[in-house]
Structure formats: C-alpha cells, structure tokens
Amino acid sequence: MELVDILPQLWQGLGWPLLRLIFFISFGLFIGNLIESLNWTHGVARLASPLVRIGNLSDITGASFSMAFFSAVSANTMLSEAYEQRKISKQELVFANLFNSLPTYFLHLPTLFFIAVPLIKGVALIYVGLTMLAAFLRTVTILILGRFVLGKVEGQCVSCRLDGQKVTTLSEALAKTWERFKKRIRRILFITVPIYILVFVFQRIGVFDLLERSMAENLGLLSWLHPQSLGIVALQLMAEISAGLAAAGALLDSNSLGAREVVLALLAGNVLSSPMRAVRHQFPFYAGIFQPRLAVELITYNQLFRTGSIIFVGVFYYFLSL
C-alpha cells in the first residue's frame, strides 16, 4: 500500500480521534479546574455532605463526588493527588472511585438519551431508566459498604474542602486554573497518547476483532433471549451502543421484536461489551491520571461493579416483565 493511501487512513483512524480525545480531555480538565477555582460546586456539595457522613467517607471523596458532575478528569485527578499525598487510603480511593459512578453516569446521560430516543422512542425511557437505577444502586451499595468497612471520619466538611480552592476574582481563577491545567495535562497526555496509539495498533492488526468474534460466536450463553435479539447484542460487541440502538429501532419498527426483548438485548450487550470498552476507552484515560497498575485495578473494580449492577437490574426487569 502506498504512502498516499496510508496517510488518509492514519488520519481518519488515529490522527483525528486522538486529537478529538485530547481536546475533550483538555476541555474537561480546564473547565473542571475553573469550576473548582470559582467554587461553583457548593450546590452539589450540599448533596454530598450527608452522603459522605453515611458512608464514613472523607470530605476529599465528597469534594471529588461534587466535581464529578462537571468533570470526571478533574474528579479523578483530585483523588489521585490525595492518594499520592497519603490524605486518603487505597481502600477509600477504590470506594471513592466507585462512589463517583453516579455523577459520571449523569455526565454521559444526555448523550445516551438523545441517541436512544430517536432510534427506539418510548423504549428508551425503560432502558435509560434501568441503567439509571443501576447507577443509584451502585451508590447506595458503596454507602452501605463504607458504613461497615471504613472507620468513622470526624469533622467532615465538603464545603470547607471546596472553600480551600476559592479565589476572589475571575482573573485570579483563570490564572490558578491555567497553572493547575499545565501541571495536570502534561502527565495525562504523556501516558494517554502512547496507550491510545498502542490500542489503535492492536485494533489494526485484528486483536480486538478476534476477541469480539470469539465473544459473538459464543452467544449461545444468551439462549434465553429472543433469537432476533442476538443481532442487537452482536452489533454492540462489534461496534458501539449506537449500532445496537439502530438495529433495535429497525426491529421495533418492523414489529419483529417487542419492547421487552429489545431492552433485555440492550442490557445484555451493555454487559458483554464492557471489557472491550474498558480497554479501548477507559484505560488510556485512567492510566494518564493514576499509576498504570493502579489504573488497571480501579478499572477492574469499576467494571465488575458496573456489570454486576446491570445484571441485577436486568434480572429484576426480566421477571417483572414476564
């Protein structure tokens, strides 16, 4: 293949997606730092304060939870810095990262909702509602576990923790934001970019295709699903959620499947596509914030916890809708 043919493919497959990733990480980090500097998280902090007391979590975890509604990058960076400075234990770091799954879910909710509604219409409310229920259950579970596992923390004050970042003027906030941004973005990009390139190479040589075909060929485990639902699951494995939603919409419109079958197929595809999604998207992002080994641990806990909650609500819906 000639260079003139390779360059457009490299730009389309690696260059543009990588630039887009860098832009969104940078934008999210900058806005998150600015919100942190301007102290705009107080409203959410009022929600976080009673929750961290219930779960015996620290005010740092509460501040990170508040920040995660605006920027997942800034929230995780806050946790990483606190852990490196030994302000929180590894156990609380894991709990805090899992605790942040609810605000992280709400960050992505508008995208999911506005893709799902045009394609599967009213069924989107059931599917999105079930995934939201799973996110709430994860938060409640962490609070219960924290209550019994973590030691009680005296004098938590999430608002005070956020007040420590407060500045008086916009110019001061921008200056502080820029200094923090430069410090944090260097480390994130130094790790994220090489890992993203490595993932691209693996994708080009067929590593992910092989894994996905293997998983798709073993969909016999899903014999409890309607046979036509398997196409939705396979598309979520081989592509993205939008492909599964498009297939679901077509099957709904032709009356080949009902709402129940579509929802169950989407939930099954959500669970089975989690490992590939974690490797492709989550690991490059996490490895830029945490040490790579710690990033793998956090992603593993995160994915196991997330898939467990989706399976739980899926089983609940399966029997409820019989």
**What is the pLDDT averaged over residues 165-190?**
69
Q: What is the pTM of this model?
A: 0.75
- pLDDT tens for 139-170 read 999 999 988 887 776 655 555 555 555 555 66
Residue closest to 97 by CA, chosen among 271, 300, 310, 292: 300
Range with lowest mean pLDDT among 42-51, 66-75, 116-125, 244-253: 42-51
Examine residue 235 and state whether it is found in any structural domain, yes or no: no
Please give the backbone phi and psi of residue 273, each rounded to the nearest 5 degrees, phi first. Answer: -85, -5
CA atoms of 135 and 132, how far apart (whole Å): 5
Cβ neighbors of 156 (< 8 A, separation 6 or more) are: 49, 52, 53, 57, 58, 59, 62
Assess whether pLDDT exceeds 80 at residue 290.
yes
Give me 180's structure tokens. Answer: 């923090």
Examine residue 115 and state whether it is found in any structural domain, yes or no: yes
Examine residue 46 and state whether it is found in any structural domain, yes or no: yes
Q: Cite the beta strand spans of 159-276 per DSSP E.
A: none
pLDDT of residue 49: 77
CB 233 within 8 A of CB 244: yes
pLDDT of residue 126: 93
Average pLDDT score over the chain: 77
| DSSP string over 205-270 | TTHHHHHHHHHHHTGGGGTTS-GGGHHHHHHHHHS-HHHHHHHHHHHHHTTSS-HHHHHHHHHHHH
CB 312 within 8 A of CB 137: yes
| 150-184 b/e (C-beta count within 10 Å ≥ 16 → b) | beebeebebbebbeebebeeeeebbebbeebbeeb
Report percent pLDDT > 90 for the chain. Answer: 13
Sign of CA pseudo-dihedral 183, 185, 187, 188: positive
Domain limits for position 199: 27-205+273-320
Assess whether pLDDT exceeds 60 at residue 227.
yes
Question: How many domains is the chain partitioned into structurally?
Answer: 1
Examine residue 165 and state whether it is found in any structural domain, yes or no: yes
Give the Cβ contact number of residue 122 at 10 Å. Answer: 9
Q: Cite the beta strand spans of the chain per DSSP E.
A: none
pLDDT of residue 315: 92
DSSP state of 150: S
CA atoms of 23 and 17, how far apart (whole Å): 10
Query: What is the pLDDT confidence band of residue 311, given thresholds at 50, 70 and 90?
Result: very high
CB 257 within 8 A of CB 248: yes
